[in-house]
Amino acid sequence: MESKQYQNRSGGGFNNRYSQQKKKTFQELALDVKKQFFNDNIDELLNMSSTSNLDSILQNIEKFVSEEGKSLSTSQLRNIYDKVKRLKDNDLNGLKLFRPNLAYIAGRSTNEKEKSLLAFIDLLIKSINSEKQVKEFKIFFEAVVAYHKFYGKQ
C-alpha cells in the first residue's frame, strides 16, 4: 500500500517514464528526413553541379526547408553556413569536425523539426568522402540558406 502512495505522489513512478513515447536518436531523425524528402537522391545532393535531375533536387530541398526549417532562426542557420563556407581548400576533416557542433545545436533545441534539419545535415556530412563532395555540400547548403530565407523564421 505504501508503494502505491509513493507512486501516486511521484506522478506514476518508474513505469510512467517508460510508457511515454521513446525519443528518436539524431541518426533516426536524419534517416526519417532522408526517406521523406530525398529517397535515393542523397548521392545527387553531393553532385549537384553535374546532375541531370537538378530541378527535381532543388524542389526536394525547397520542400525539405519549408517543412523542417521554419523554426530555425536565420542567424542560427547563417552561423552554421558561415563556418562551412570558411573551410579552406574544401577541408574534409574540418567539415567532419563540425558534426559535434550540429549535435550540440540540436541538443539545445526543443523543436523536433529543427533537430531533424540539423540531423540530416549531419548525415550528409557523414557521407562525404572527398574534397569534391565538400565543394558540392557547400552548393547544397547554399540552396538550403536561400530557401530558408523565404520560408524560415525571421
Q: Is 153 exposed, middle or buried (0-12, 13-18, 19+ CB in 10 A)?
A: middle
Q: What is the pLDDT of residues 88-102, one digit of tens each?
A: 888 999 999 999 999
13: in domain: no
Number of domains in the chain: 1
- pTM for the full predicted model: 0.82
67 belongs to a structural domain: yes
Domain that holds residue 102: 23-151
Q: What is the pLDDT of residue 101?
A: 93
List, for residues 5-40, the tens digit of each pLDDT value. 444 444 555 454 444 567 899 999 999 999 999 987
Residue 14 lies in a domain: no
What b/e sequence results for 141-151 when a residue is b if at least 16 CB atoms lie within 10 Å of its CB, and e otherwise? bebbbebbeee
